[in-house]
Amino acid sequence: MRVRSRRATVIDAPLPSRLGRLFAPVDLASLAVFRIAFGLIMFWEVLRYFHYGWIDRYWVDPVVNFGYPGFEWVRAWPRSGMHLHFVVLGLLALCIAAGFFYRVIIPLFALGFTYIFFLDQTRYLNHFYLIILLSFLLCIVPAHKMWSPDARRHPELRADTTPAWTLWLLRAQIAVVYFFGGVAKLNGDWLRGEPMRMWLADRTEFPVIGRFFTEESTVYLFSYGALFIDLLAPALLLFGPTRVLMFGAVTLFHLLNYRLFTIGIFPWLMIAASLLFLPPEWPRRLFPRSRSQPITIRSKVHPHDRWIAAGLALYLALQVLIPLRHLAYPGNESWTEEGHRFAWHMKLRDKSTAARFFATDSNSDQTWELDPEDFAQDWQVAHIVDRPHMLVQLARHMRDVLRNQGYGHLEIRAEVMTSLNGRAPQLLVNPRVNLAGVRSGAPSAPWIVPLRDG
């Protein structure tokens, strides 16, 4: 049986210059596979929220949602509305996978998922942030022009290639996640094997290898293995001689994370995203009959290409700078949480916290203890008490609720003892500071007690 060529036929001269290489055509197959995988994983995520009752738990049952600064106006739908919202997200995810009305569907999904993200910052998850970024990036790449109803219904839309920048943009985004996940691990605790040592000690029942989890060699193998995979994965996935070995290591790494830790769909999303680093025509090697058609390459750079390149440069510059913003704050970011979010600081710290809250009526000088679970859900409190700036948000909520009950001028203080990565418990915030009166957006937070090492 004769197998036809699986590569696009070049008819014209390639574009010159580095800018030209961004717009040179590459096989679209890799992007199409990622579109399918992304849509199916998102559909699975929606099913998980229905199956485990998380829609009610996280967005219907709470009396209050703790919004992000500037987005406190975002409110959850009533129960029926939230369930309908997730039904729609699930249908949109299936349409993304299929490539059905893609140009309409993908921005709707991106906006719908972003809405969920902004409802409550106690539900911040790195992979939710990544999903939002990927969703909006997929809005601008032609991932629907192959293996989709859109391409079948509109022959003029069908394509076998895509400008190289569309693939490199997604690769760069995933590389940022890997690389800064590794950079974040370059800290004293991680290099000493903490908190990995504690985590593995709690998981000795893990099949086959769990009995080795208390060995120091295993602790350092896991700690440094994760560090080097994060730092080197993008480069070694792109480099031909190491590609297969690195993809195997990355897959094993994410599968172990899935079994060891509660991190949802993140491992599967990253495995799918790692496929983007393979040669763009790799799916055609699995399906030889899926051959490409001859294409024409533009022989010159158009003026709007420079605008596209400038936009890409600006976006990627932001993706590099945002994870570094914690350097502008004093102290250990795993302790203060300043600059911790949106920086790919994933599975870096283990905190154990005991907190007591007190209200003082300045008119009567009366002080009494408050139960935080009278003001928020238990899972919200668990996510708040070891995050100083969220303690401020909870304190303000407590003050406002009590004022509505007829109390006058109130001050809210907290005694919060926190252990970071196995250290002895320490004060997290100054217990004499009125947290409800702390000014938002201040460049420094002297009311956060510095971490004492040792």
* Per-residue confidence (pLDDT) for residue 2, from 0 to 100: 38
**Average per-residue pLDDT in the chain?**
92
Position 287 pLDDT exceeds 70: yes
Measured distance CA(136)–CA(112) in Å, rounded: 11
* Per-residue confidence (pLDDT) for residue 442, from 0 to 100: 66
pLDDT band at 365, cuts 50/70/90?
A: confident
* Per-residue confidence (pLDDT) for residue 9, from 0 to 100: 41
pLDDT band at 364, cuts 50/70/90?
A: confident
CA 86 from chain centre, in angstroms, equals: 19
For helices 126-138 and 266-274, give the axis angle rounded to 10 degrees.
40
SS3 labels along 116-138: HHHCCHHHCCHHHHHHHHHHHHH
Structure tokens at 251: 């897959």
Mean pLDDT of the 231-260 span: 97
* Per-residue confidence (pLDDT) for residue 289, from 0 to 100: 63
* Per-residue confidence (pLDDT) for residue 454, from 0 to 100: 59
Position 18 pLDDT exceeds 80: no
Q: Which residue has the higher pLDDT, 323 or 454?
A: 323
Only one residue has tokens 């916290």, namely 353
Position 292 pLDDT exceeds 80: no
303 burial (CB, 10 Å; 0-12 / 13-18 / 19+) is exposed
Mean pLDDT of the 8-29 span: 70
- 308-355 confidence digits (pLDDT tens): 999 999 999 999 999 999 999 999 999 999 999 999 999 999 999 999
415: three-class secondary structure by DSSP: strand
- 167-194 confidence digits (pLDDT tens): 999 999 999 999 999 999 999 999 999 9
- 183-231 confidence digits (pLDDT tens): 999 999 999 999 999 999 999 999 999 999 999 999 999 999 999 999 9
* Per-residue confidence (pLDDT) for residue 195, from 0 to 100: 97
Position 269 pLDDT exceeds 60: yes
Q: Looking at residue 114, what DSSP letter applies?
A: H
Q: What percent of the chain has pLDDT over 90?
A: 85
Position 238 pLDDT exceeds 60: yes
pLDDT band at 256, cuts 50/70/90?
A: very high
What DSSP element (H or E) covers 150? helix 149-153
Measured distance CA(112)–CA(450) in Å, rounded: 39
286 burial (CB, 10 Å; 0-12 / 13-18 / 19+) is exposed
- 29-77 confidence digits (pLDDT tens): 999 999 999 999 999 999 999 999 999 999 999 999 999 999 999 999 9
Position 13 pLDDT exceeds 60: no
298 burial (CB, 10 Å; 0-12 / 13-18 / 19+) is middle
Position 376 pLDDT exceeds 50: yes
Q: Which of 148, 139, 138, 142 is nearest to 170 (CA)?
A: 138
